[in-house]
Structure 1
Amino acid sequence: MSRGGGRPAAVPPPGTRLRPRTGADGLTVRFVPEDPSDDPFEFDFGRLPLSPLLQRTFAAAFAERTRPGAGLRSWEAAQNAFEDLRTFARVLSRSPRPPLAAAHLVPAHLEEWVLERGGAERASRATGQLKLTLKRIEGLDAAFLAKLTERTARRVRAETRNYSLSELKRITAAARRDIRAAALRIRSNRDLLEQWRHGRIDADADSQAFRRGRLLDHVDRHGDVPRYPGGRRAPMRWAGDLGTVHDHMTALHLGLADTAAFVVLLIAMTGENASTVMRAPAAHFRADGYAGGPATAIVGLDKRRRAANRYRDAALVDLPSWIPLPDKITEVNLDRVPLNSPFAVYSLMVELGAPARTALSTGRLVVWWSPGGGGGAQPPGLREAVDDGHIQTWAARHDLPADQRGTARTRKGPPPQLNVTMSRLRLSQAELNQKPASHTEATLANEYLLRNRGNLDEYRRVVAAALEAEAGKARTRGALQVLTDQDIEQARVDPASVAKRYGLDATRLKELISGELDTVMTGCTDHTGGPHAPAGEPCRASFMLCLSCPCARAAPHHLPFQVLVHDALDERRRSMTPLKWSERFALPFTQLADLLERAGQAPVEHARSTASEDQKKIVQRFLNREMDLR
């Protein structure tokens, strides 16, 4: 039963015997993917160029590596792990004295495999995965086992470049044109099919339309065009007279160009990972309840690499700020299909792919008809998902020139065409919106934007401008009044003069020094007379605003809190984008830096080293916004 209650989990009936994952000969391993839509697959280790003993040894290690809960959940991950073992076996077979048992493996074998893969840095990821499998082998030599436990060289991530705003607009405009054409084509053919099925097309009046309706009916029912019986199964002549097989199948189903355009637009709008989009379901929940408000589809997404946090619900409703709103258009206007929001693109893809999902018995969003694989490797038929090769094929059919950057402006001839990939589309969305999608803000800053070189100079200028603007606010606003240690000493004998110096009365001064007025980093001398609330009403603003409030005063006992908050804001630079950090924290950080400079280095270091655990907890609660009045 789940932790949150509910019905008990289904269990096998009594007497059920689980099918063994390893064959009786120990040379085959059966892998069952976590996704029920993926078929089980058997990996044959008898084909590896190894001794029978090593074949069974590798098979046992692979079986342990792919068992439930071991981390490899998809067919692709298992296939990659097997491919690493296969290439390692090939290296072993070419050795002057090929090893016959696990104890014969030596570090040089692994080093040679790494060199064949392009070196330690290029093979970093594959090396780490291969080591995880080989560690499951029993009876390894101590030197080889030590080699497996060495730290794997960190892979150097290649810098990449996002698309500029103008480039992205060209890409998405081409995708919209293709999608609108697909919607017009499929909707009109479905309308013709419905008229034919209801007997509204007279065969004598328009035999072409009647034959067309008959052909569409066959395609819809059988998932293929009418064919002659026999070995070649050629399309019937009357069907050939009406067009090609591709024309007939894409009359009711999405084709490659249509599906690629949908995927391009979805990723460009949402910033979701390519694998997440490919696994997205067509089933969704309409949060707006069709009540006339903003249309909102709640879609359950799956990002495998996030392990326990892989599942999440995404709301497809908002319009990206960088996409211009089109003229008002309606659903029935086929020439202007609305594609101005992620919801519109998603819901249209759900609609146009419905027949293919029924034929495939799948709930996946991305479905399409393919004329076949390269060189006849795959027969024609309906498919799920597309890859970067499909996206690049789609882009090659359009005129998508790249912007002229730097020295490229002086080159003669036409500008180079854009290389459109799903990863660059996602990077561009992250760059333009500065918001994470299916990842944390730290990942956005350190894994995506840090490697992006597409708009680096412009981004630096924007961040510099934001920092200068916040620093300017700090300079123009009055500096916080801070009591010194000498003021505290004088207040014990002459409180009236000290109070007058800081615009207070003697009672307020006493309360400030004793900590009765504390608001984390300062003390508030008038909580009903500040600028952040109507006169006479209590202030409900964040304590962060106290740094620039005329009602705030600081005393020496506030210094540890100021140091801790200053350090915490500086630490947050690592987990936020520079632009967002500058917009949110540059002003208080500058104000705190000014306070610490006025306090002096020695008192600041003393406050930093002697800060108590209670003070640290208060600052943590403050930065987590647990003290905000809502």
Structure 2
Amino acid sequence: MHHYNQLGRLKIYDFSRLPVSAAMQRSLAALFAARCSPHVWATHITSHSHWKYVVRFASFLSSLEEPPNDLQDLSAAVMKRWRVSLSGAPAGCNTLNGVGRLLRSDARLRSGPVAEELAVKVRPAKSTTQSYSGDEFERITVAARKMFRSALLRIEENGRHLDAWRGGVFAEESPEWVLGEGLEILSRTGALPHTVGRSGSRNLKKRYARAMGGTSAEATWQRLFLTRLEVTALAVLMLAEFGWNLSVISELEVPRATPDAGADGRPTYRITLRKGRRGPGHHHETRNVSDDGASSPGRLITQALSATRFARAAVEELAPGSNRLMVWRTGWLGPAATELDRHPHVGPFRFGVHNNEAQGWARANGFPHSPFRRGRRTVTAVDRREPAQHSQQTHDRDYVLTDDRIRQEAMGVIAAGAQDAADRAHRSVLVARLRDQPAAADTETATADCAAFHDSPYPAPGGGCGASFLMCLGCANARVHPGHHPRLVHLHQALTNLRSVLPSSRWEKDWRDAHDRLEDLKNKVGDGPWRQALDRVTDTDRDLIDLLLTGRLDS
């Protein structure tokens, strides 16, 4: 069985090795093959996990006194015995769910006693991962900030020297000029010129060794490029700032600044996030992040772009089109290990941060484990108390309700939260009426239809309605039908994205009520129709919401 991942790389699974009949091998292979697509199983990690589930299932079947010949020979008793055998076992829930998904996709098992047994819900094991204490997470972020800051200053200093060399500041063949020449070569190729000795050893040319002060990595290529540990420190800071998980950080494309930086010249970056675990059509999401100063989220993006600019330029020279942000250089110039789910290596350059790098960074800084799983729980569940790359249900079930620190801190805020929720329910719920279709007599607005434009609870001095279109959903005269859903879904996303950009006090004041009314609408419409409406958003809807949010529609 062949599985090509999202990078087009091949992994082969041999179902003839399974200890079951040839007919059962073929049936399991067919179910497995149906998911071996980059649009379903994007990585070999996923297919390999399911392969282990299938091997475990085949071993169970072979242990029976009368192993079934094919899938139609499975019985409810056998499947119940399979489920009981994994109760409490390590990875038992994952194995049951993985095999269950495969079996339920076979036409022979979609109804009947076996299908009913496969439909039995298995409670996942309670997560033992806990958030960090405030002091623990502070030590981690301080270590990361210290390491990345040092690397950034080093690269910026050498970048200034390179710019001066390119500008002809130094006398030709002076030590400063030779250093600049070496940096120029390094910036284009990722390496400095070497001579090869009789034994095959590689030796840095003496002119560059003298100018750079030695032949070590610190004296040579680290002048312009991040190391494995330094790019991991940057990833830790991104985790702390944005709450993204390690796979999302690893696959970040280079953020692009919007064409108009504004009157103050401060950029707003458009960041594309890839979320591989979501279903087809939902793998990508975009965020807008502004650099409004040293303490703003966008400042870290500006620094990341600066720290990786020479590595990204060298990669583009060697292999155009990579477009990855998290690029670092390795000191090992021998044959590269094949890692089928990672971006292909480009010369000495590597992409992303994976578990090996995370574990290495933790050991180098005196921490017992990779900080990413516990750190993400700390950021999303404790610090922000909102989901990052998962649903609200997953956030509540797997992050909030199982965390000891949150439970301990909850006692003092429950009463205040309940009162706040009650107050907000009175002023921020959806008041507009829901309709299946528009009425001819209604007047269309930017967010809804109005049944009594000249009898507004917010009259304008010259007659008509004087309220912002954002208030329509809070007005009893408003009517919302499915034709409005796409633009309202887009508005909901835009307001959610603004929350990550604006100071919390400003967002609460200007946008919270409108966001809450849209949340109420989403709950009334339902998740299915709401997601379907997202696929129907048009350019007109986007332009309209852009005008609304910038205030140009109400003026």
Q: Give the shorter-chain TM-score range.
A: 0.5 to 0.7
**CA distance, structure 2, for counterparts of residue 197 and residue 539 of structure 1:** 60
**CA distance, structure 2, for counterparts of residue 200 and residue 125 of structure 1:** 63
Where in structure 2 are the equivalents of 1:609-620 lying within 5 Å? Answer: none
**CA distance, structure 2, for counterparts of residue 453 and residue 374 of structure 1:** 47
CA drift of 1:268 comes to 1.0
CA drift of 1:281 comes to 1.6
**CA distance, structure 1, for counterparts of residue 196 and residue 240 of structure 2:** 46
Q: 1:87 to 1:228 in 2, by over 3 A?
A: farther
- The residue aligned with 1:183 is 152
- The residue aligned with 2:305 is 350
Contact 2:93 2:123 in 1 (8 A): yes
Q: Which amino acid aligns with 1:63?
A: A
- Secondary structure (helix, strand or coil) at the match of 1:73 reads coil
- The residue aligned with 1:267 is 239
- The residue aligned with 2:102 is 133
CA drift of 1:345 comes to 0.9
**CA distance, structure 2, for counterparts of residue 341 and residue 233 of structure 1:** 51
**CA distance, structure 2, for counterparts of residue 374 and residue 107 of structure 1:** 55
CA drift of 1:274 comes to 3.0
Q: Which amino acid aligns with 1:188?
A: E
- Secondary structure (helix, strand or coil) at the match of 2:277 reads helix
CA drift of 1:343 comes to 0.7
Q: Deviations over 1:271-325 (max 9, x none)?
A: 2333322222213242752431654212222323333444332121388xxxxxx
Identity %: 23
Q: Which amino acid aligns with 1:258?
A: E
- The residue aligned with 2:31 is 61
Q: Deviations over 1:345-365 (max 9, x none)?
A: 112212332333524531222
Does residue 1:395 correspond to 2:362, yes or no? Answer: yes
Contact 1:103 1:141 in 2 (8 A): no
**CA distance, structure 2, for counterparts of residue 213 and residue 96 of structure 1:** 76
CA drift of 1:215 comes to 4.2
Q: 1:59 to 1:187 in 2, by over 3 A?
A: same
- The residue aligned with 1:383 is 350
Does residue 1:277 correspond to 2:246, yes or no? Answer: no
Does residue 1:459 correspond to 2:410, yes or no? Answer: yes
Q: Which has the larger radius of gyration?
A: 1
- The residue aligned with 1:192 is 161
- The residue aligned with 1:324 is none
Where in structure 2 are the equivalents of 1:110-121 lying within 5 Å? Answer: 119=88
Q: 1:314 to 1:469 in 2, by over 3 A?
A: closer
- Secondary structure (helix, strand or coil) at the match of 2:28 reads helix
**CA distance, structure 2, for counterparts of residue 314 and residue 372 of structure 1:** 35
Where in structure 2 are the equivalents of 1:415-434 lying within 5 Å? Answer: 417=367, 419-430=369-380, 431-434=382-385
- The residue aligned with 2:325 is 365
- Secondary structure (helix, strand or coil) at the match of 2:122 reads coil
Contact 1:246 1:371 in 2 (8 A): no
- Secondary structure (helix, strand or coil) at the match of 1:58 reads helix
Per chain length, whose mean CA-contact separation is higher, i.e. which structure has more relative contact order (CA < 8 Å, sep 6+)? 2
Contact 1:303 1:438 in 2 (8 A): yes
Q: Which amino acid aligns with 2:157?
A: S
Contact 1:127 1:152 in 2 (8 A): no
- The residue aligned with 1:286 is 258
Q: Which amino acid aligns with 2:145?
A: R
- The residue aligned with 1:311 is 284
Q: 1:102 to 1:439 in 2, by over 3 A?
A: closer
CA drift of 1:117 comes to 6.9
Equivalent residue in structure 2 for 1:446, among 367, 387, 397: 397
- Count matched residues: 428
Q: 1:113 to 1:186 in 2, by over 3 A?
A: farther
Q: Which amino acid aligns with 1:428?
A: T
**CA distance, structure 2, for counterparts of residue 160 and residue 141 of structure 1:** 36
CA drift of 1:381 comes to 3.0
Contact 2:80 2:117 in 1 (8 A): no
Contact 2:161 2:180 in 1 (8 A): yes
Contact 2:79 2:114 in 1 (8 A): no
Structure 2: tracts of 5 or more residues without a match = 339-344, 424-455, 458-464, 475-507, 510-520, 526-553
- Secondary structure (helix, strand or coil) at the match of 1:305 reads coil
**CA distance, structure 2, for counterparts of residue 86 and residue 391 of structure 1:** 30
Q: Which amino acid aligns with 1:160?
A: T
Worse-matched range after superposition: 220-229 or 423-432: 220-229
CA drift of 1:366 comes to 1.8
Q: Which amino acid aligns with 1:133?
A: L
Q: Deviations over 1:164-211 (max 9, x none)?
A: 3333333222222222211112222333344455665457542xx555
- The residue aligned with 2:41 is 72
C-alpha RMSD over aligned residues: 5.0
CA drift of 1:461 comes to 1.2
**CA distance, structure 1, for counterparts of residue 172 and residue 216 of structure 2:** 22
Q: Which amino acid aligns with 1:424?
A: R
Q: Which amino acid aligns with 1:298?
A: R
Q: Which amino acid aligns with 1:347?
A: T
- The residue aligned with 2:272 is 300
- The residue aligned with 2:487 is none
Contact 2:186 2:221 in 1 (8 A): yes
- The residue aligned with 2:223 is 251
**CA distance, structure 1, for counterparts of residue 400 and residue 333 of structure 2:** 36
Q: Which amino acid aligns with 1:396?
A: R
Contact 1:267 1:426 in 2 (8 A): yes
CA drift of 1:252 comes to 2.0
- Secondary structure (helix, strand or coil) at the match of 1:83 reads helix
Q: Which amino acid aligns with 1:344?
A: R
Q: Which amino acid aligns with 1:351?
A: S
Q: Which amino acid aligns with 1:367?
A: V
**CA distance, structure 2, for counterparts of residue 286 and residue 78 of structure 1:** 38
CA drift of 1:469 comes to 8.9
Q: 1:203 to 1:78 in 2, by over 3 A?
A: same
Contact 1:227 1:233 in 2 (8 A): no
**CA distance, structure 1, for counterparts of residue 329 and residue 147 of structure 2:** 16
Contact 1:280 1:365 in 2 (8 A): yes
- The residue aligned with 1:39 is 8
Does residue 1:154 correspond to 2:123, yes or no? Answer: yes
Q: Deviations over 1:431-490 (max 9, x none)?
A: 223334344545433332212212432232122355579999xxxxxxxxxxxxxxxxxx
- The residue aligned with 2:186 is 219
- Secondary structure (helix, strand or coil) at the match of 1:301 reads strand
- Secondary structure (helix, strand or coil) at the match of 1:392 reads helix
Contact 1:162 1:424 in 2 (8 A): yes
Q: Deviations over 1:489-517 (max 9, x none)?
A: xxxxxxxxxxxxxxxxxxxxxxxxxxxxx
TM-score (norm 2): 0.61
Worse-matched range after superposition: 158-167 or 212-221: 212-221
- Secondary structure (helix, strand or coil) at the match of 1:272 reads coil
**CA distance, structure 1, for counterparts of residue 333 and residue 122 of structure 2:** 37
